[in-house]
């Protein structure tokens, strides 16, 4: 610890909040020590690898069982992916990607419900998964 810093600490000891500070030298950090380096400028928020989605945010539908969602970064966007339904949601941040996925799943549910009698084998499997996990609310 530097002498100046020790003097500053010693001068502050015992001073109450009501007393004005007298003869206290400010602690100064040199400007070059405050500069952001490339090492820190590339740090981005941590992205969870998976989560369970428990709601679709549509008042007409309720999830009976959660859907597993995985996340990835793609350029400047975040991708939320539900492997079970093979559906994606995109956004500039995590919440936006999840909301986009929720809208996509809701649209998929109503589209497949409307066409359920003429679906091929792949979409029939997706519809069966959706109809087991989602209930329409009256």
CB 89 within 8 A of CB 72: no
Q: Give CB contacts under 8 A, 24+ apart, made by 111-115.
A: none
CA dist 106 and 56 (Å) reads 7
Residue of 75, 100, 74 whose CA lies nearest to 88: 100
pLDDT digits (tens, 9 = 90+) for 93-114: 999 999 999 999 999 999 999 9
What is the C-alpha radius of gyration for the chain, rounded to an integer number of angstroms?
A: 28
Q: For the chain, how far is it from start to end, CA to CA, in angstroms?
A: 69
pLDDT at 22: 56
Residue 2 has pLDDT above 90, yes or no: no
Is the whole model's pTM more than 0.85, yes or no? Answer: no
pLDDT digits (tens, 9 = 90+) for 3-50: 766 666 566 555 555 555 555 555 565 666 555 555 555 556 688 899
């Amino acid at each position: 610890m530097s002498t100046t810093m020790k003097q500053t600490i010693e001068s502050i000891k015992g001073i109450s909040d009501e007393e004005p500070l007298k003869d206290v030298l400010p602690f100064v950090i040199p400007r070059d020590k405050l500069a952001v380096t490339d090492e820190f400028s590339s740090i981005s928020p941590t992205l969870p690898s998976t989560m369970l989605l428990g709601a679709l945010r549509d008042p007409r539908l309720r999830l009976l069982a959660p859907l597993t969602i995985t996340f990835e970064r793609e350029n400047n966007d975040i991708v939320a992916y539900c492997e079970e339904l093979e559906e994606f949601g995109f956004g500039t941040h995590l919440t936006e990607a999840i909301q986009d996925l929720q809208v996509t799943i809701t649209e998929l549910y109503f589209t497949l419900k409307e066409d359920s009698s003429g679906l091929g084998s792949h979409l029939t499997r997706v519809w069966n998964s959706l109809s087991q996990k989602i209930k329409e609310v009256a």
